[in-house]
Amino acid sequence: MPVLRNGVVLSESVAGLERVPPRWFRDRGLDLLVVACAEDEARWEAERLAGFLREVARSGVEVYLAPWGYGKVLYAETLAPSLYLHTHPQTLQIDSRGRRCPRACPNDPRFLEWFSNSMRTLAWLMEVRGFVWETPSFYYGRGAWACRCGYCQRLYAAAAGEPLPRQLNPEVTEFRRQSLNMFLLAAAAAVQSVDRRLQSVVIPPPPLDPATATSGADDWRILANNSGTDVLGLAVSPRPPALGLPPAEHYGAFASTAQAQGKGTWLWLETDRLTPEATNDARTMARNLRLDAIIWSEYEQLRRLAPPR
């Protein structure tokens, strides 16, 4: 039986890292640390961030960087601003009503070039084990979907031999999935061009959330077949009344799809309240599904609770 590893996500601002002792994670028996890094902070605070990550890594913890905000193709929910979006409005996604959405289009070559350059720079500057690409998605809201920009229209027409439909039909759904898959491949290639050993961890939107069906990142067969991806994360949230987790068998097909392609699997626990029920359920789920690691919500919560082992 493989050893189940434990990690946390740290989403402090870079200035806030001064309050976090780098050895805390090792002292609490954690194996992994995922540090969120917002586009604008990485631009101005890269040295301070790199210093912190180096200290944590020296203590024996595997460190991963999760870029947030960058054009908002990844983790669009973040409140972190994206300067890129303000300075490159012509690369934003266009929805089915013809409006620009506050997210860059993963098929726009100007965005892709900027994104790849930014990730290469991070890979040079930060001594990390790998990168976490969190909740990649296309825009979808109130019945409107994206993207119908000129690049998406041309790409679709070239592949399908007909214009991009107005409806989000199965062909368009598949086109969006393949587009995000190419984006994830480009993300992995960018960091691996600096160091081939850098791991690429993809956290798709929560598989059981109905909204995931319109995200473009809902098909785990496609995600698991991505040659750039090393690990897939199962995003799971506790639910009322006791705030335990959904039964493990709801996730069995996702985990086994990833494992069949030789991918690592993490349980990515998303909660504002880490309860004893959720803690027990997470361990049971991870064992039943033969997952490699549990990433336990946030640093501050874990500090208040008992350590996870």
Residues near Zn ion (CB under 5 A) are: 105, 107, 147, 149, 152
Question: In whole angstroms, how close is the CB of 153 to Zn ion at the nearest point?
Answer: 8
Nearer residue to Zn ion within complex by CB, 62 or 108: 108
CB 204 within 8 Å of CB 223: yes
CA dist., res. 144 & res. 170, Å (int):
15
Cβ–Cβ contacts within 10 Å for residue 264, how many?
Answer: 16
Question: In whole angstroms, how close is the CB of 45 to Zn ion at the nearest point?
Answer: 31
Nearer residue to Zn ion within complex by CB, 176 or 263: 176
Question: In whole angstroms, how close is the CB of 79 to Zn ion at the nearest point?
Answer: 24
Q: Which amino acid is at 266?
A: W
Nearer residue to Zn ion within complex by CB, 8 or 152: 152
Q: CA 126 → CA 23, 33, 123, 194, 198, distances in Å?
A: 18, 14, 6, 11, 11
The contacts found for 51-57 with CB under 8 angstroms, 24 or more apart, are 52/14, 52/17, 52/20, 52/22, 53/126, 53/127, 53/128, 54/127, 55/22, 55/23, 56/22, 56/23, 56/25, 56/26, 57/127, 57/128, 57/129
Nearer residue to Zn ion within complex by CB, 131 or 151: 151
Question: In whole angstroms, how close is the CB of 134 to Zn ion at the nearest point?
Answer: 21
Strands 199-203 and 140-141: unpaired
Question: In whole angstroms, how close is the CB of 81 to Zn ion at the nearest point?
Answer: 22
Nearer residue to Zn ion within complex by CB, 43 or 110: 110
Nearer residue to Zn ion within complex by CB, 9 or 180: 180
In 39-136 the beta strands, taken as DSSP E runs, fall at 62-68, 92-94, 100-104, 130-134
Question: In whole angstroms, how close is the CB of 107 to Zn ion at the nearest point?
Answer: 5
